[in-house]
Structure 1
Amino acid sequence: MSSSSIRFYASWTDAALLEAVALDNRGAFAEVYERYWYRVFALAYRKLKSRETAEELVQELFAALWHKRTEQTIAQLDHYLLAAINHRVLSYIRAYRVRTHYATYCHTVQIETTHETEESLDASDLSAALLRSVELLPEKSKEVFRLSRLEHQSVEEIATHLGVTSKTVEYHLTKSLKLLRLYLREFMVMLAPFLLFIR
């Protein structure tokens, strides 16, 4: 893009840029990006303290802005972009917490299992118990758990896929983890007589 065209787009209002973007004008979109990317990045970085993650979320936001350019009506561009990046950051943090909680839980179960028997409990037994426990989950919770843990979809992706809110997805993930913790505890209780026998 020539320097003259860059100066030309720089003089446009946000409203004019959005109209041009809706008509597939890449120059106008480049100006939107140049005008706002740092403010959006700075907000994401301030909340996440991770340059790499902040950059990734900013790129996803601007990619979505381009892909949905003909579908959305934006009244005030700066407010829209800052609210949108804030939403993406919060979704990322919530998903990260769920993943971290689940990883910690799995690690804890593994340690407890090792301590409760002189010989390590066969990993296939625990895996089978986990699979059986997943099958006991309510249908909606099971579907959300499957999409999150087996297909590695984000909370936002699952919400879009199932046509529900992110809060509903988080509810089902939390419910699934609580139920699985309960089911696996029952599994360990059932093993107790055997564990006493082999000691």
Structure 2
Amino acid sequence: MRKKSVVLLMALALMALMAAGCATFKTSDGDDERSGIVRGKVAVLTATVVAVDMKKRIVTLKDSGGDVRDFKVGKEAVNLPQVKTGDIVTIKFLESVAVEVIKPGTAAGAGTATTIVRAKPGEMPGGMITRQRSLTATVKAIDKDGGTISLMGPNGKTVKVNVVDPANLDKVSVGDELLITFTEAEAISVERP
């Protein structure tokens, strides 16, 4: 098989980092470190190209279970002519949530961001898209026995959230501000068998 594209390697590194579990974050002023939580899941789909309709820009893929599906490929995929019957397509999906305790009023990281990386013209098709959404929430109540935390979001509404690992409730206090980052990433690569 040919070497995987740099794009796929970048996506894999991002996915490994995000799915790692726990991490240490610098506070926004850089003075001290606080623990943060990163939880994520990765799904992988590998399929074989069984047909390519260049006029309609439709690629037909067959997965390991024998299911066959058609995928419409947009014009932004300039390397579609390189795709041939028998090529192996790998698609990786990541969803993660990262939570960091920050000093009140320092939520410069709140907002949304989208990053798109594509293979260069003439290379085997591949690419990655990452969407991140960050928001701040204030800890209003902690129920260690029930394993929940009540958070007030930027809209002023309070929600009660079940915590995956109740031990993490020891890392926050009522009044703390949390920077919560939701990440979705998709990476695709095409290789010759």
Question: TM exceeds 0.5?
Answer: no
More relative contact order, 1 or 2 (CA 8 Å, 6+ apart): 2
Higher strand share: 2
Structure label with greater radius of gyration: 1
What TM-score, normalized by structure 2, do the two folds share?
0.25
What TM-score, normalized by structure 1, do the two folds share?
0.24
Higher helix share: 1
